[in-house]
A and B are shown apart, each in its own frame.
Chain A
Amino acid sequence: MPTSTRRQHILSVLVEDKPGVLARVSSLFARRGYNIHSLAVAPTDDERFSRITAVVDVEKAPLEQIVKQLDKLVNVVQIDELAPGDAVERELLLVTVEAPPETRGQVIELIGVFEGRVVGVGFDEITLVLEGHPQKLDDFAELIANYGVVALQRTGRVALPRIERRSPELSAVADAS
């Protein structure tokens, strides 16, 4: 399930926390025939607002139009388009995978290599959690598929602008992400 980053744009949309706002945003995409690749919505530190992170799969020109149309929505406060290189991106993946005793060790080893964790164990199945850059999740999903995936769920991407590198210390923190 590779999530190609070609033609993808990350929109970070600050909206008023009111009923129907997500429907307004998503129907705006739907009526113009644009596909939302992933969507994550949650409250922010300010109780008046929520933040929508939408990864959209469009060319540059219609994206400009979609941003302008989004900006017309009365409940949309601010829109930032994040270039993938300038953003800190994270996503969470939960997967339940077949893990009979003969392969269980390999599965646990694999999640360890990816710095994820085991969050549930059954007789023949095991549930894993992995957090990280979407690309890392793609890579893991590809490998774990070989063991037989029972169920897999990803959260969709969240992103924030990468902070400016003002000092060596901050620079190191940014690189670590």
Chain B
Amino acid sequence: MKTNGGSALIKSLELEGVDVIFGLPGGAILPVYDPIIDSPIRHILVRHEQGAGHMAEGYAHVTGRPGVAMVTSGPAATNIVTPLADAYMDSVPLVVITGQVASKAIGTDAFQEVDTVGITRSVTKHNELVTRAEDIPRAIREAFHIATTGRPGPVLVDIPKDIVDPTNPASALDWYWPETVDMPGYNPRMEGDPDLVRAAAELIGTARRPVIYAGGGILKARGAEALTALAELLDLPVVTTLMARGAIPDDHPLCLGMPGMHGNYTAVTAMQESDLLIALGSRFDDRVTGKLDGFAPDAKIIHVDIDPAELGKVRRPDVAITGDARLVIEELIVALKELGAPGNQPDRSEWRSTVSGWQEKHPISYEQSEPGELLKPQYVLEQLRDNTPDDTIVASGVGQHQMWTSQYWKFNHPYTWVNSGGLGTMGFAVPAAIGAKVGRPDKMVWAVDGDGCFQMTAQELVTAAAERIPVKIAILNNAYLGMVRQWQEMFYEERYSEVYLSPDLPDYKMWAEAMGCVGMRVESPEEVLPAIEKANSIDDRPVVIDFRTDAREKVFPMVPSGRTNSEIVIGPGES
């Protein structure tokens, strides 16, 4: 069947099962936008290309399927570099298609030409400049394969205009669909080595103070149920990193919550005092380990990761297993049972009582405001948590509000927490929430955003209003770049340099309404619940609530940068 590159591209996306593309057209991608009109794929027209990328990420976080974004060449490609870097750091499966100037113009500094594959090389799992129309189906097939297998990640396909333009002979090709991929250098290992899995099972059988250190890889592997089964088999406590929140339900008695710089006392200290860390799909990020020299000094390490480069990168493991987290956990459960578990495990009652002692003594807490004082952000989060469905999807931006959300929300379901962990991308929340709602229209989606973050990508609410995507945004508006303010207060002698944003400029309620959303402003504790209930009842357009919160509030506990986790600073309410 004779076809052209543009039609072949759209047909390839259809065959990959794509149901939605987030994008914005322009000169170099125009020929591809024409066949979209006749395709069953839904296209969502964003207002800024960064929004397209984060929406695709939000979609991927909650569905497990790759998110797809398509934009034109030049500034569109540079605008989508941030979401690519974000997806690369957090292992989010993403396929981004960029238009490129016509083949003959490449290298001439033509209008809207940039070296897209050069610019994105270090923030993609793989990328390719396709030079012939006949390569398009193969390139798309490979892009989806690479994005979704092994350690997931973003893949970019850059396509010159002439090979997709039906009026150009260079775009002609005979249609085909490659059923298999031929990539001799790409063979991700899924199953764990049986000898190593057995060695891990034996090591667990010697540990008196073990902790499961669950990372985002558990969720990427769709391994939440397997994780819970492993923890329950041996009664092992589990910490869930920022990227793994929800991998085991927060209301599960074995779940200790989040470790790390702003983790809770028990999760941080249990890791620190453990004699065995079972690291599953986690990468010993510096925000988790604190100062590496003093991190979990007595712990032996079992490290399971799909990416062999993570094994030994930061901390030398005693047993290192390359493989898919879900499969390896299932293999580990079999091996443990073969060795006689749970009957053969050492007595860990002392460890359990120590851990539960910490939990009782050091719950996450804050000081409630007195009547007439400013609203506490933590109180807003408690009210949101308690007055939304249990399986609400929550997206966040980056900063104080992100940490409070992770601390105060109860994630009782996997794949309900959408956030930017590795890159720490301000402006992530609004577009990511929109993408999440597109992926799971059956679920309520709230974004918790900061006033600084909100101003970076708020224009995507125009996209949401126009496309009738009813997300709900809670801005914790403390008029500051809050986390920077906290560091300046604690480590720069309260010299607040360039962090004041003003609570009223812009007027968030009016801005929301101008974008086609319902806008509300909440200033006192008694207004919080009615506003949330009103927001929950609106399902035909986005809602934005501007919660005016206390700027003096800080995120605690905190392990100051460069310190060990033993030097965790607990909040004023706990001292």
**Interfacial chain A residues near B118, Cβ < 8 Å:** 23
- Is there contact, CB below 8 Å, between A77 and B184? yes
Shortest distance from the beta carbon of A60 to any chain B beta carbon, whole Å: 12
- Is there contact, CB below 8 Å, between B129 and A19? yes
Give A154 to B118 CA distance when docked, in angstroms: 28
Give A15 to B186 CA distance when docked, in angstroms: 11
- Is there contact, CB below 8 Å, between A20 and B185? no
- Is there contact, CB below 8 Å, between B185 and A73? yes
The contact of B126 among A23, A68, A74, by CB within 8 Å, is A74
- Is there contact, CB below 8 Å, between B313 and A65? yes
- Is there contact, CB below 8 Å, between A76 and B309? no
The contact of B185 among A15, A23, A64, A68, by CB within 8 Å, is A15
B117: Cβ under 8 A from any A Cβ: yes
Give A14 to B220 CA distance when docked, in angstroms: 30
**Interfacial chain A residues near B17, Cβ < 8 Å:** none
Give A78 to B184 CA distance when docked, in angstroms: 9
**Interfacial chain A residues near B307, Cβ < 8 Å:** 72
The contact of B129 among A16, A20, A27, A77, by CB within 8 Å, is A20
Give A77 to B126 CA distance when docked, in angstroms: 14
A31: Cβ under 8 A from any B Cβ: yes
A75: Cβ under 8 A from any B Cβ: yes
Encode A86-103 as 1/0 by CB contact (under 8 A) with B.
000000000000000000
- Is there contact, CB below 8 Å, between B146 and A72? no
**Interfacial chain A residues near B505, Cβ < 8 Å:** none
Closest residue of chain B to A79, judged by CB?
B185
Closest residue of chain B to A16, judged by CB?
B185
Closest residue of chain A to B155, judged by CB?
A74
Q: Which of A68, A69, A78 counts the most B-chain CB atoms under 10 A from its CB?
A: A68
Give A31 to B312 CA distance when docked, in angstroms: 19
A37: Cβ under 8 A from any B Cβ: no
Give A74 to B131 CA distance when docked, in angstroms: 18
Q: Which of A71, A75, A76 counts the most B-chain CB atoms under 10 A from its CB?
A: A75
Q: How many B residues touch the partner, as a band?
A: 10 to 19
Given known A20-B117, A68-B308, contact A74–B313 (CB-CB < 8 A): no
A133: Cβ under 8 A from any B Cβ: no
- Is there contact, CB below 8 Å, between A72 and B309? yes
Given known A15-B185, A65-B309, contact A74–B117 (CB-CB < 8 A): no
**Interfacial chain B residues near A75, Cβ < 8 Å:** 185
Q: Restricting to B295-314, which residues have a CB under 8 Å from any CB of A?
A: 307-309, 312-313
Give A76 to B125 CA distance when docked, in angstroms: 13
Give A20 to B126 CA distance when docked, in angstroms: 11
- Is there contact, CB below 8 Å, between A74 and B129? no
Encode A112-126 as 1/0 by CB contact (under 8 A) with B.
000000000000000
The contact of B121 among A16, A24, A68, by CB within 8 Å, is A24
Closest residue of chain B to A67, judged by CB?
B309
Shortest distance from the beta carbon of B81 to any chain A beta carbon, whole Å: 15
**Interfacial chain A residues near B39, Cβ < 8 Å:** none
Give A64 to B312 CA distance when docked, in angstroms: 9
Give A69 to B311 CA distance when docked, in angstroms: 11
Give A74 to B125 CA distance when docked, in angstroms: 8
Give A60 to B522 CA distance when docked, in angstroms: 58
Shortest distance from the beta carbon of B321 to any chain A beta carbon, whole Å: 15
Encode B120-149 as 1/0 by CB contact (under 8 A) with A.
011001100101000000000000001000
B183: Cβ under 8 A from any A Cβ: yes
- Is there contact, CB below 8 Å, between A31 and B122? yes
**Interfacial chain B residues near A77, Cβ < 8 Å:** 184-185
**Interfacial chain B residues near A20, Cβ < 8 Å:** 117, 121, 129
Given known A23-B118, A23-B121, A27-B121, contact A69–B185 (CB-CB < 8 A): no
**Interfacial chain B residues near A71, Cβ < 8 Å:** 308-309
Q: Which of A74, A75, A78 counts the most B-chain CB atoms under 10 A from its CB?
A: A74
Shortest distance from the beta carbon of A23 to any chain B beta carbon, whole Å: 7
**Interfacial chain B residues near A16, Cβ < 8 Å:** 184-185
Encode B167-195 as 1/0 by CB contact (under 8 A) with A.
00000000000000001111000000000
**Interfacial chain B residues near A72, Cβ < 8 Å:** 307, 309
Shortest distance from the beta carbon of B155 to any chain A beta carbon, whole Å: 9
Give A27 to B308 CA distance when docked, in angstroms: 20
Q: Which of B125, B183, B184 counts the most A-chain CB atoms under 10 A from its CB?
A: B184
Encode A20-33 as 1/0 by CB contact (under 8 A) with B.
10011001000100
Given known A19-B129, A24-B121, contact A74–B308 (CB-CB < 8 A): no
Closest residue of chain A to B188, judged by CB?
A72
Give A76 to B184 CA distance when docked, in angstroms: 8
Q: Which of B185, B309, B312 counts the most A-chain CB atoms under 10 A from its CB?
A: B185
Shortest distance from the beta carbon of A21 to any chain B beta carbon, whole Å: 10
**Interfacial chain B residues near A23, Cβ < 8 Å:** 118, 121
**Interfacial chain A residues near B183, Cβ < 8 Å:** 74
**Interfacial chain A residues near B129, Cβ < 8 Å:** 19-20
Closest residue of chain B to A49, judged by CB?
B184
A to B CB contacts below 8 Å, 7 in the list: A19-B129, A31-B122, A48-B184, A65-B313, A68-B309, A71-B308, A75-B185
Closest 5 CB pairs of A and B: A68-B309, A77-B185, A74-B126, A74-B186, A76-B185
Interface residues of B (CB under 8 A from A): 117-118, 121-122, 125-126, 129, 131, 146, 183-186, 307-309, 312-313
Interface residues of A (CB under 8 A from B): 15-16, 19-20, 23-24, 27, 31, 48, 64-65, 68-69, 71-78
20 other A-B residue contacts (CB within 8 Å) besides A20-B121, A23-B118, A65-B312: A16-B184, A16-B185, A19-B129, A19-B131, A20-B117, A24-B121, A48-B184, A69-B309, A71-B308, A71-B309, A72-B307, A72-B309, A73-B185, A74-B146, A74-B183, A74-B186, A75-B185, A76-B185, A77-B184, A77-B185
